[in-house]
Amino acid sequence: MDTVVEQVLTQEEWDARADAHAARVDRFLAPHLERRAAGVKHPVFDFLFTYYSFRPSQLRRWTPGFGQDPAVTADYVAERVPLIRSLHRLLTATAGRTGNFGCFGLHEWAMVYRLAEDETRHADWPLRLGATGTDAVVEEHRIACSHFDAYRFFTTPARPLNTLSPGRDDRPSYEQPACLHAGMDLYKHAFRLSPMVSSDLVADCFELAWDIRVMDMRAAPYDLADLGFAPVRIETPEGKAEYVAAQRLFAERGAPLRRRLIEECERLLRAPDHAAPR
């Protein structure tokens, strides 16, 4: 099994960086683990640990990635070339597309369209406008959701209202950099490349996903004021402007992370002996 080490870290350097990484992510992990132990659900933050399959213990573990971690061999990279190529294709397609800043986060509203309040995903939290008012917002707006993993959770009557039809297998044809979920998914792409990429990059993407998730749910139809989340009232002109401003900032933050992931994919695809694992 080939081992490629471009730079050797001393044990002291490794331990210091691992400790710094653990302290960085523990700010997010510790409250989550406390809630989980107590059986307390959180409608905003649980998403980062339940929808995404990277376990807290995995997020906490640090690696410098291929080229510095001797445990990550060229053979290991070679076995994952199809994944790396697939992610590279998706990331480059997304980076090359103009962002759509006119969706206003209506995907969350389409997920509860024509449901009774006790049937929604977060049934413990009321809808700000009630079921009837929420349905009216959906019906009065143009739905243009480009993200399949949001679209697939639309209620059955909401699906025909979407002006786009993203599918599971054609994500590179639809994904665009202004989408909040595309920004959050940078975290997913990063951890799928772990441990081939540095845990520092994974943590950078996680922190962006955390901040985006807050906006995603502030703009959702739920009333989360009791948790300290002021609503972004996307049904109003002022709320739309607030949403778009945040969306632009997240797109700006996501662009360099997407570029780093693309560069990491390209670096990994150049790894020695990647064509065929032995």
Contact 145, 107 (CB under 8 A): yes
- Provide the pLDDT confidence category of residue 273 given band limits of 50, 70 and 90: low
DSSP characters over 33-65: HHHHHHT---TTTTHHHHTS---HHHHH-----
pLDDT at 146: 97
pLDDT at 38: 98
* Nearest CA-CA partner of 181 in 219, 232, 155: 219
Residue 269 phi, psi (nearest 5): -70, -15
pTM of the predicted model as reported, rounded to 2 decimal places: 0.94
Whole-angstrom distance, CA of residue 219 vs CA of residue 234: 6
Residue 148 C-beta-side C-alpha neighbours within 13 Å:
11
Domain extents in the chain = 11-269
- Provide the pLDDT confidence category of residue 113 given band limits of 50, 70 and 90: very high
Per-residue pLDDT tens over the stretch 62-107: 999 999 999 999 999 999 999 999 999 999 999 999 999 999 999 9
pLDDT at 271: 87
Q: Could you tell me which residue, 7 or 203, shows the higher pLDDT?
A: 203
Angle at 179 between CA 99 and CA 120, to 5 degrees: 150
**Residues above pLDDT 90, as percent of the chain:** 94
Q: Is residue 134 scored above 90 in pLDDT?
A: yes
Per-residue pLDDT tens over the stretch 52-61: 999 999 999 9
**Residues above pLDDT 70, as percent of the chain:** 95
pLDDT at 8: 79
> Does residue 195 have a cis peptide bond before it, meaning omega lies within 30 degrees of 0?
yes
Whole-angstrom distance, CA of residue 247 vs CA of residue 240: 10
Q: Give, as one character, the DSSP assignment of residue 173.
A: G
- Provide the pLDDT confidence category of residue 6 given band limits of 50, 70 and 90: low
Q: Is residue 40 scored above 60 in pLDDT?
A: yes
* Mean pLDDT score, 204-214: 99
Q: Could you tell me which residue, 124 or 6, shows the higher pLDDT?
A: 124
Residue 155 C-beta-side C-alpha neighbours within 13 Å:
17
Query: Amino acid identity of 269?
Result: L
